[in-house]
Amino acid sequence: MKENRARWLSTACSIIAVLSHQSECVQAKSGSGGSVVEHHPSSYWDQSFSPPYFDNTTKRETTTTVGQSAYLHCKVRNLGDRAVSWIRKRDLHILTVGILTYTNDQRFQSLHSDGTDEWTLKISSPQVRDSGVYECQVSTEPKISLAYTLSVVVSKAKIEGNAELYIKSGSDINLTCIVLETPEPPSFIYWYRGEHVINYSQRGGISVVTEKQTRTSHLLISRALPADSGNYTCAPSTAESASVLVHVLNGEHPAAMQHGNSSNSGATTRTLALLLLLLHAGSFAR
């Protein structure tokens, strides 16, 4: 019976030694004559684990437009029981610790999903003043941190040409809008005449062509009539709008020499010059 018990203890000791990576497992005699298994400290538990470190594959320079939410992604490997904080560098203000917000400005929020290494700082409705350096910091001793740069820009639309455009009745209205200072193409660009969207107008002869990648939109209204006069606005989804005042006139108008298209303006100028020359020649004849 004692032999069986000793054999069982020896087998158990071997299994424990394998599972716990022990260098040795010793049987000792107890005072009562029984066997007791003694476990020596395991080298597995004594070894030091890898400290936390940053995954540098994340993007560390981000550009967004005013009002468009910004996301700064920080990945920390081997975090363990340490905490991740986001700090604004210019005033060393702690924004978040873990998933908690430590600022009165509720536009700042820490996003994290359990089981992942990513801690994301979300900035809702960013303004130009939010541009600067932000640090992702880990509470090791000493602390480690990684800097991220955020640029918040003002995106604007621009309609090519003058602020006022004079068109002869029957000619085409041709407007081109370009969206400037935008990191991403706008999801849409709408054209308005006054308060009405032209993109879905019932009037025939209207063409809107938008090229998102080039951030450009073209509006063509064929055979314009005086009723097509008005304030035309280009309104991108993520940029300030731009407007131009269009006048559709019956017959010639002196202002057309300055605000019309170059070919019509040039022809009008040449006609005026010829009239002045004839008047001048007539005065000499008298």
The full set of domain ranges for the chain reads 53-153, 156-249
**Cis peptide bond upstream of 142, omega within 30:** yes
Residue 253, pLDDT score: 53
Q: What is the pLDDT of residue 266?
A: 43
Average pLDDT per 10 consecutive residues for the chain, totaling 286 residues: 49 41 41 46 50 92 93 96 96 96 95 95 97 97 96 95 94 96 90 89 86 93 94 94 96 48 41 44 44
pLDDT reported for residue 49 = 67
B/e letters for 95-109, b = 16+ CB within 10 Å, e = fewer, are: bbbeeebeeeeebbb
pLDDT of residue 274: 47
C-beta separation of 231 from 193 below 8 A: yes
Residue 213 confidence (pLDDT): 87
Q: pTM score > 0.75 for this model? A: no
| pLDDT at residue 261, rounded to an integer | 43
CA–CA gap between residue 132 and residue 108 (Å, rounded): 14
Let me know if the fold of 53-153 is the same as that of 156-249.
Answer: yes
By the 10 Å C-beta count (0-12 exposed, 13-18 middle, 19+ buried), 33 is classed as exposed
Name the CATH superfamily, with its identifier, for domain 53-153.
Immunoglobulins (2.60.40.10)
CATH number of 156-249: 2.60.40.10
